[in-house]
Structure 1
Amino acid sequence: MITLLVADDQTMVREALAALLGLETDLEVIEQCARGDEVLPAVRGRQPDVALLDVDMPGLDGLEVAVALRTEFPQIKVIIVTTYGRPGWVRRAMDAGIGGFMVKDAPVEHLADGIRRVMAGLQVIDPELVVESTVRGRSPLTERETDVLRAAADGGSVEELASALFLSTGTVRNRLSAAIGKTDARNRADAARIARDNGWL
């Protein structure tokens, strides 16, 4: 029996996924989480074989959780199951050493088969997503530029961002300017949108 943890902030999606996977004779969902920051405590308690993670969750996103799981529980397989196959997300997932990256509109039989293949030591990623992430390449933003742009995505003045990030206003301006230039954006809101659409944030 392959034991599973399912993490998704959309209750209906999470419960439907758990119910459908539970119909498979060799799969058992033993834990569900609605937030990314609930996953590690749940894993410590239940030790599932596979963690199925959405990317866009409150607390921690699925990619951050995948990195944390790889560090603390390298034996647990991770499969990203998300609505969007953004190239930047695929690249970040591959860099995190995940076992699979699958989109939610695939048939549940496809996901179940992917779980079995990942448990067998294979990596299961939609070939089209791999090609697109390779063509588009890695994020042009540095880690520090990404941090500033992520904080700026919710608005706020340069002074407010500087205070929240413990940086000088000049540093924040410089990093925002660099992010705008690297994304060919019109302004910081446009840069945040472009970065989010590409999965770089």
Structure 2
Amino acid sequence: MVRTSYREQLVALAAKIAEICGLATVAMETATRALLRADLVLAERVIREHDQIVDACMAAEEAAFVLLVRHQPVAGDLRTVVTSIQNVFDIERMGVLAKHVARITVRRHPEVAVPSEVAHDFAEMGRVAVQLGNATQQALLMRDVETATSIDDEDDAMDALHAHLFVVVMGREWQHGVPAAIDVTMLGRFYERFADHAVEICRRVNFQVLGETTGSDEART
């Protein structure tokens, strides 16, 4: 009976972490819409609802530590619990990055924070971020190695979009001044880091399932 309860707790923890990943993804999707439309209501909703993500992350982290202390898992179960704690950190950061996007929208309102020259880039970065977030949620929920290993192309697309922003901002045709350039640079960084956190989580899914992973934890900010 105790072992069954323990297994149920592991499954519940995985489901909870996947659910929080979904919340962070929705937050970034909403923040992107707010950014492109200068929508103050949507931006303030992302900021207001961020506490929900924080509280859920704290609860999931506590549940993981309880499993460690009470059951002292080994082997595959230990990998699951430890990587779950790491994943909670990354998901919390994903939520913070969505909040940062929303804050820039609020600060620049009623103006649109992104000039027309880069609006398409940010629309695409938002799309890629949401796709990565959804894939990560699926990988977490289903322990889906195939999904976890299939996101590299989307991550490369995000990196290319991020690099293109620098080309535009540093180009001679940029006519929007330094404040707008700073906002565009920061926003690009927020999306790029969101993607990095998703990639790190997917790498850990491979570690949980297969006992091996590639690369190293780089998404620490």
TM-score by length of 2: 0.24
**Higher relative contact order, structure no. (Cα contacts within 8 Å, ≥ 6 residues apart):** 2
Bigger share in helix: 2
Bigger share in strand: 1
TM-score by length of 1: 0.25
